[in-house]
């Protein structure tokens, strides 16, 4: 039996790249963005399927994630592949990584309330569209990727463009969060056998 993190049994055996979930990185800030990616051969992330600036209102969020849910493959086993979370609807075969937000020290009560309301709405929209999500703190994904920029968006954009030159400024954090998501997912689902090698074996 394969073993995952901390010696626990892995939740998946060897998978084809097409069987791995999409990885969606979400930077929920007003100047944030959303990046959608999928795996290719050898379990490597491909260039983004799409990159989108963060919608300005709840209607825009609902429309975007509804469209993504239509495009994303769904299967019966998808709910078992990510965090052991089961959805009431047939889940999308995707793992959404949302950066954790917390209030700034000098933020007003109204600002804290607005932040909490908007962030809660985002998570509700993602879940209602059929996606499982995981919240990740900035320090966690930056440490995993060996990136320490302390909020320097220009530096993060530079790093993201080093991997994907067409990365948009608003989507830099989301792109790097998707890189973290791939590391997190593959730590639970290795080894990934490339399609060509799988065919030769068959």
Residue pointed to by tokens 């499982």 = 132
Grouping H, G, I as helix, E, B as strand and the rest as coil, residue 175 is helix
Q: Are 172 and 157 in contact (CB under 8 A)?
A: yes
Q: Are 136 and 99 in contact (CB under 8 A)?
A: yes
**What are the residue boundaries of the structural domains of the chain, listed by start?**
5-201
What is the spatial distance between Cα 32 and Cα 88, in angstroms, rounded to a whole number? 29
Q: How confident is the model at residue 85 (pLDDT cuts 50, 70, 90)?
A: very low
Please, which residues have CB within 8 angstroms of residue 89's CB and are 6 or more apart in sequence? 130
Q: How confident is the model at residue 12 (pLDDT cuts 50, 70, 90)?
A: very low
Domain spanning 5-201 has what CATH number?
3.30.420.10
pLDDT tens for each residue of 96-140? 999 998 766 777 777 777 878 888 899 999 988 888 889 999 989
pLDDT tens for each residue of 124-183? 999 888 888 899 999 899 988 888 777 788 999 999 999 899 999 999 999 999 999 988
Q: Which of 55, 34, 56 is nearest to 175 (CA)?
A: 34
Q: State the average pLDDT for the chain.
A: 76
Q: Are 17 and 43 in contact (CB under 8 A)?
A: yes
């Amino acid at each position: 039996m394969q073993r995952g993190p901390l010696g626990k049994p892995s939740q998946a055996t060897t998978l084809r790249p097409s069987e791995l979930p999409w990885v969606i990185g979400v930077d929920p800030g007003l100047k944030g963005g959303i990046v959608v990616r999928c795996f290719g051969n050898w379990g490597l992330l491909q260039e983004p399927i799409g990159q989108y600036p963060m919608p300005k209102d709840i209607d825009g969020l609902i429309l975007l994630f509804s469209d993504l849910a239509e495009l994303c493959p769904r299967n019966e086993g998808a709910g078992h592949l990510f965090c052991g979370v089961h959805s009431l609807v047939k889940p999308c075969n995707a793992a959404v990584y949302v950066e954790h937000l917390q209030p700034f020290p000098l933020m007003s009560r109204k600002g804290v309330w607005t932040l909490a309301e908007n962030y809660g709405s985002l998570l509700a929209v993602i879940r209602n569209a059929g996606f499982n999500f995981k919240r990740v703190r900035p320090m966690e994904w930056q440490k995993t990727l060996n990136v320490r920029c302390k909020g320097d968006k220009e530096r993060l954009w530079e790093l993201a463009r080093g991997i994907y030159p067409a990365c948009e400024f608003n989507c830099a954090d989301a792109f790097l969060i998707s890189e973290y998501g791939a590391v997190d997912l593959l730590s639970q689902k290795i080894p990934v056998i490339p399609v060509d090698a799988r065919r030769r074996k068959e």
